[in-house]
Amino acid sequence: TVYQVHVTTGDVLYAGTMNNVLIKLVGTDGESDQTLLYNKKGGFYQGSVSEGNSSVKCPVSLGKLVLIEVEKQKYSIFPEDDWFCSKIAVTTPDGDSVSFPCYRWLWDREKVVLMESTAKRVFDDSLPLAQYHREKELQSRQMEYRWSVYMEGIPQCLKADSPTSLPAAVRFSFKKSTEFAFNNSYGLAELKLKDFTECKQQWTKMEDIKRVFCTKRTEISAYVQEHWKEDAFFGYQFLNGVNPMVIKRCSKLPRNFPVTDDMVRPFLEPGTCLAAELQRGNIFLCDYKILEGLPTNAINQKQQYQAAPLCLLYKNAEDKLLPIAIQLNQQPGDLNPIFLPSDCEHDWLLAKMCVRSAEFCEHQLNSHLLRAHLLAEVFAMATLRTLPMVHPLYKLLIPHTRYTLQINHMARQVLISETGSFTQISSIGGAGISLMLKRALSSLTYSSLCLPSVPNFYYRDDGLRLWNIINKFVQGIVCHYYSSDMEVQKDSELQSWIREIFVHGFLERSIPQSFSKVEEVVKFVTMVIFTGSAQHAAVNSGQFDFGAWIPNNPFTMQRPLPTAKGNTSQNTILQTLPDINISVQGMSIFWVLSRTSSDFVALGVYPEEYFTESVPCKLIKKMQRKLKGLSEEIKERNAELKLPYPYLCPEEVENSVAI
């Protein structure tokens, strides 16, 4: 009997090899000899399928093919040459094609076992040989991917010393690592702001900020510069800015925010009052209690300040969301006045800037770092440690973990470490960051990872539709593989997956610690994919758009918060902003972090074929059609908007947390 073998080499730089590749087929009725693959082209080239007659001959049929063993060997004088194998397809004597996904690098002296591609849960694998390899695969992954505690009280992460020590399977491609330098000089050079890095003066003219800002603008950042002082735009950003996560409908004022009807009546529609509007659901609150009393930073040898404000907003008859009262700190009192839109121009503007600076901390640390990046890492780690490649959930989730481990490792080293550039420019330094993250995790709820609901909200509209598309897809896949709750309960690998996430990620809070129903799996897995794709895009992609104009995004404040009204001028506002070199540093970070990389993979695109059966493949196609339709609709809507909301347009959403 003769088996034909076709090998596909990955389409990544240096994937090919001139070395020898040997293969052994193992079936239910026996195994072949280890056979040298013959390739007409003399080597295995990047992005190509091997050609020619690569056959494995056996005296009798091997039965049903279960797995193959692949080995790469250096050929005589050729140097060792790593090889990235995508997949191997074997045509049986009966003419069936059997696929073995690989998607990994092979080195010399390592035999790699690849299982046949049909997705199998742990109890589907009845052959002792398959069970044995399933366990061995997990054992070796658990050695390779170890949990580590970066800071007490926040999700655990991958243990690694440097980006190059990360397992090759999760590292950036050569292309991505050359074009993505996370360092200061890179962004500053692109923004042509290098000359300002030693300039620790304060800003003295708005005109100067404009000049610096103009070196690189986007359509949206230009809009922000023009409208940043307007109340309606200030309100709009809570719904459709880079952090649409804080605003809550308010039916009763918090006790520490004593806003009276007299104070705000002038800003409501005629004939109504605060109590009535609270009841109608037209009053909203942004509360930054989480920032209260955090230690603050010293920058350029100067003490910095951080508000923990409360901001009340009103949705008027035109559906505009307008701020109507701001208190800069949590404890009410004579030295903590409630600022109103009727205060003099600069008092009110500065109060709004204090809220924007609180938004910056909340956005970057809670919404972006914790809830998108760190959680995505936890999901990636649990997937790698507890699910073998043949598990349906591995096939479903692994494309949504691309680059996450490396980007997070780099962020810990160069952004949020004690000397990291983010730590250096933010109002709260290292100690503040770690306290803030702990508070954020301990107040995080499972339901808040699924979607909120507020009016006139493109984030909510687009996000909900994306959630539903992902949910239908996940439901199709999960229900295909789990036909009853009983099967969920007895899948020990699935149970260890959620257990690892519960223990190492959520530190034994907030989420289920086991699954008993199919629908629980569907909801949780939807959340995992949504978090790493759509949610991350919503809080990541607009960083430069909304953040580059520093007055709209004062990531640190250099003057004490005002304790009375009537004392703020244009000058005090400028003196409150970060120094010039700190400002350009921030612009550079936002620039680097919101660029689209050239090997971007959009949501729902699966260049790697982990699933080969017809049901999951059809579900993927169906989801892709829906995503395309949604992209068209969002683009049409955006064309009608003065300020478009592009961040959740599916073709702009990356499949994983990769930046």
Q: Does 423 bind ligand NAG (CB under 6 A)?
A: no
Task: Pick the closer one to ligand NAG by CB: 183 or 514.
Answer: 183
380 Cβ contact list (under 8 Å, min separation 6): 170, 401, 404, 405
State in angstroms the smallest separation of the CB of 595 from Fe ion: 11
State in angstroms the smallest separation of the CB of 407 from Fe ion: 7
540 binds, among ligand NAG, Fe ion, none (CB under 5 to 8 A by kind): Fe ion
Contact by Cβ (8 Å): 273, 266: no
d(CA 468, CA 240): 20
Among 224, 290, 537, 582, binds ligand NAG (CB under 6 A): 582
Q: Does 198 bind ligand NAG (CB under 6 A)?
A: yes
306 binds, among Fe ion, ligand NAG, none (CB under 5 to 8 A by kind): none
State in angstroms the smallest separation of the CB of 180 from ligand NAG: 8
Q: Which stretch binds ligand NAG (CB under 6 A): 139-147, 302-310, 577-585, 644-652?
A: 577-585
Contact by Cβ (8 Å): 250, 277: no
Task: Pick the closer one to ligand NAG by CB: 152 or 334.
Answer: 334
DSSP string covering 229-274, please? T-HHHHHHHHHHSS-TTS-EE-SS--TT----HHHHGGGSPTT--H
Task: Pick the closer one to ligand NAG by CB: 202 or 655.
Answer: 202
d(CA 307, CA 354): 6
99 binds, among Fe ion, ligand NAG, none (CB under 5 to 8 A by kind): none
Q: Does 197 bind ligand NAG (CB under 6 A)?
A: yes
d(CA 442, CA 433): 14
Would you list which residues are annotated within the binding site for Fe cation? 368, 373, 536, 659
State in angstroms the smallest separation of the CB of 372 from Fe ion: 6
Q: Does 200 bind ligand NAG (CB under 6 A)?
A: yes
Query: Exposed, middle or buried by CB within 10 Å (0-12, 13-18, 19+), for 333?
Result: exposed
State in angstroms the smallest separation of the CB of 120 from ligand NAG: 43
d(CA 568, CA 345): 9
State in angstroms the smallest separation of the CB of 179 from ligand NAG: 8
197 binds, among Fe ion, ligand NAG, none (CB under 5 to 8 A by kind): ligand NAG
Task: Pick the closer one to ligand NAG by CB: 73 or 197.
Answer: 197
Q: Does 181 bind ligand NAG (CB under 6 A)?
A: yes
Q: Does 585 bind ligand NAG (CB under 6 A)?
A: yes
Task: Pick the closer one to ligand NAG by CB: 201 or 492.
Answer: 201
Q: Does 32 bind ligand NAG (CB under 6 A)?
A: no
Would you list which residues are annotated within the binding site for Ca(2+)? 16, 39, 81-82
Q: Which stretch binds ligand NAG (CB under 6 A): 181-189, 207-215, 221-229, 306-314?
A: 181-189
Q: What is the Cβ-side half-sphere exposure of residue 120, based on CA atoms within 13 angstroms?
A: 16
State in angstroms the smallest separation of the CB of 540 from Fe ion: 4
Task: Pick the closer one to ligand NAG by CB: 308 or 582.
Answer: 582
Among 214, 273, 564, 617, binds ligand NAG (CB under 6 A): 564
State in angstroms the smallest separation of the CB of 538 from Fe ion: 11
Q: Does 300 bind ligand NAG (CB under 6 A)?
A: yes
3-state secondary structure at position 628: helix
Comparing every residue's Cβ against ligand NAG, the nearest one is: 181
Contact by Cβ (8 Å): 400, 608: no
State in angstroms the smallest separation of the CB of 263 from ligand NAG: 19
State in angstroms the smallest separation of the CB of 406 from Fe ion: 12
The H-or-E segment that residue 69 falls in is strand 65-73
Would you list which residues are annotated within the binding site? 16, 39, 81-82, 368, 373, 536, 659
Q: Would you state the structure tokens that stand for residue 581, as one six-digit string?
A: 């070199």
643 binds, among ligand NAG, Fe ion, none (CB under 5 to 8 A by kind): none
Cα dihedral angle (632, 638, 644, 648), rounded to 10 degrees?
-30
Q: Does 185 bind ligand NAG (CB under 6 A)?
A: yes
State in angstroms the smallest separation of the CB of 376 from Fe ion: 9
Q: Would you state the structure tokens that stand for residue 551, as one six-digit string?
A: 């007055």
Chain mean position to CA 509: 21
Contact by Cβ (8 Å): 297, 304: yes
Question: CA distances (Å), 233 to each of 285, 354, 642, 645, 646, in order?
Answer: 16, 16, 12, 14, 17
DSSP string covering 353-367, please? HHHHHHHHHIIIIII
Q: Does 186 bind ligand NAG (CB under 6 A)?
A: yes
Binding site for Fe ion (CB under 5 A): 540
46 binds, among ligand NAG, Fe ion, none (CB under 5 to 8 A by kind): none
Q: What is the DSSP letter of 334?
A: T
Query: Exposed, middle or buried by CB within 10 Å (0-12, 13-18, 19+), for 159?
Result: middle
Q: Kindly provide the b/e burial profile for residues 130-153, where b requires at least 16 CB atoms within 10 angstroms of the residue's own CB.
A: beebbeebbeebeeebebeebbee
**CB neighbourhood size of 543 (10 A):** 24
d(CA 194, CA 62): 66
Residue count (the chain):
659
Q: Would you state the structure tokens that stand for residue 382, as one six-digit string?
A: 């649990």
Contact by Cβ (8 Å): 293, 307: no
State in angstroms the smallest separation of the CB of 38 from ligand NAG: 41
> What separation, in Å, do the N-terminal and C-terminal C-alpha atoms of the chain show?
50
Q: Does 570 bind ligand NAG (CB under 6 A)?
A: no
Q: Does 581 bind ligand NAG (CB under 6 A)?
A: yes
3-state secondary structure at position 311: strand
Comparing every residue's Cβ against Fe ion, the nearest one is: 540
Q: Which stretch binds ligand NAG (CB under 6 A): 340-348, 436-444, 537-545, 563-571?
A: 563-571
Q: Which stretch binds ligand NAG (CB under 6 A): 40-48, 124-132, 177-185, 204-212?
A: 177-185
Q: Does 658 bind ligand NAG (CB under 6 A)?
A: no
Q: Does 622 bind ligand NAG (CB under 6 A)?
A: no
Task: Pick the closer one to ligand NAG by CB: 183 or 445.
Answer: 183
Among 99, 424, 475, 656, binds ligand NAG (CB under 6 A): 424
Residues that bind ligand NAG (CB under 6 A): 181, 183, 185-186, 197-198, 200, 300, 424, 563-564, 567, 581-582, 585
